[in-house]
Amino acid sequence: MIWIRSLLFQFYFYVSVVVAAAAVVVCAALPYRFRFAIARCWGVSMLWAGRELCGLEYVLEGRENIPASACVFMIKHTTVFEIYAQLALLPAQSWVLKRELLWIPLFGWGLASMKPIAINRQAGRSAITQVREQGKARLADGVCLSIFPEGTRVRLGETKRYGVGGAAVALDAGVLLVPIAHNAGDFWPRRGLLKRPGLIRFCVGPPIDPAGRTPRATSLLVQAWIESKMAEISCGYQQVAASKQEHEPAR
């Protein structure tokens, strides 16, 4: 039954994202708030589908940590859940993403009209410059910026070097950085189809002021909070940590 429910959810995901993308394309001439409202409705519908079909309940923790003004969100990326959850649970946002997503017919067209910052991930320093320049413009317009700091989905219990782009644009724009951790990977494996029922904790951390620090120093603070919170709320992280400790040579 879990497999059937997971397949139904996946079918809903594919159909609904096409419908939402088409609606955004049709409304491309309307103000951004209308287009984002469509995206938010899709995100809410995905949360509903996850709950009704797969038993994926969720709770938003740390709502009081979301600033009243535009900010930069840095979110742990392990599943598809956080991609649509941020639309439903966070203020209007723009996203830093790989430019190849814009090449997908219809979906890419809709995505392109949502003010994303589409980067070439192989471009190195020029990609960071692009994020800083375009991100500052989005924030000036009152639109938050959302970044997956590791640049890609990672396996549960693992971490990669956090990029400095989010911290750099926050410093340039004089806004706060907000770290976000969650345990969706406990119920929805990376690139996996099966989704087990459970409670996903979407945890918003205390804002971090980048003023007076280098982007690298700020990024390390973000990473420390996110990885610490992941270890606290995620059974998968705890199991990986215990396994690593078990296999470490005695000193």
* This prediction's pTM: 0.92
pLDDT of residue 203: 98
Between the CA of residue 38 and those of 26, 84, 97, 141, what are the distances in Å? 11, 12, 19, 19
How many domains, in total, are found in the chain? 1
Q: Which residues pair with 61 in a beta bridge?
A: 203
Task: Name the DSSP letter for residue 27.
Answer: T
Determine which of 114-123, 144-153, 240-249 has the lowest per-residue pLDDT on average. 240-249
Counting beta carbons within 10 angstroms of the beta carbon of residue 86, is it exposed (0 to 12), middle (13 to 18) or buried (19 or more)?
buried
Q: Does the pLDDT value for residue 122 go beyond 80? A: no
Q: Does the pLDDT value for residue 241 go beyond 90? A: no
Give the domain CATH number at 16. 3.40.1130
Give the 3-state secondary structure of residue 232.
Answer: helix
pLDDT, tens only, 77-108: 999 999 999 999 999 999 998 889 999 999 99
In the block, residue with structure tokens 């991609």: 83
Counting beta carbons within 10 angstroms of the beta carbon of residue 237, is it exposed (0 to 12), middle (13 to 18) or buried (19 or more)?
buried
Full domain range(s) for residue 207: 2-247
Average pLDDT for residues 54-77, to the nearest whole number? 97
> Helices (DSSP H) in 27-157: which residue ranges?
32-54, 81-89, 107-112, 125-140
Q: Does the pLDDT value for residue 129 go beyond 60? A: yes
Q: Does the pLDDT value for residue 251 go beyond 60? A: no
Residue among 167, 183, 159, 175 at smallest CA distance from 61: 183
Q: How many residues does the chain have?
A: 251
Of the chain, the percentage scoring pLDDT greater than 70 comes to: 95
Average pLDDT for residues 11-17, to the nearest whole number? 96
φ, ψ for residue 111, nearest 5 deg: -65, -40
Confidence of residue 180 (pLDDT cuts 50, 70, 90): very high
203: CB partners within 8 A, 6+ apart: 61, 62, 180, 181, 182, 229, 233
φ, ψ for residue 29, nearest 5 deg: -85, -10
pLDDT of residue 235: 86
Average pLDDT for residues 162-181, to the nearest whole number? 95
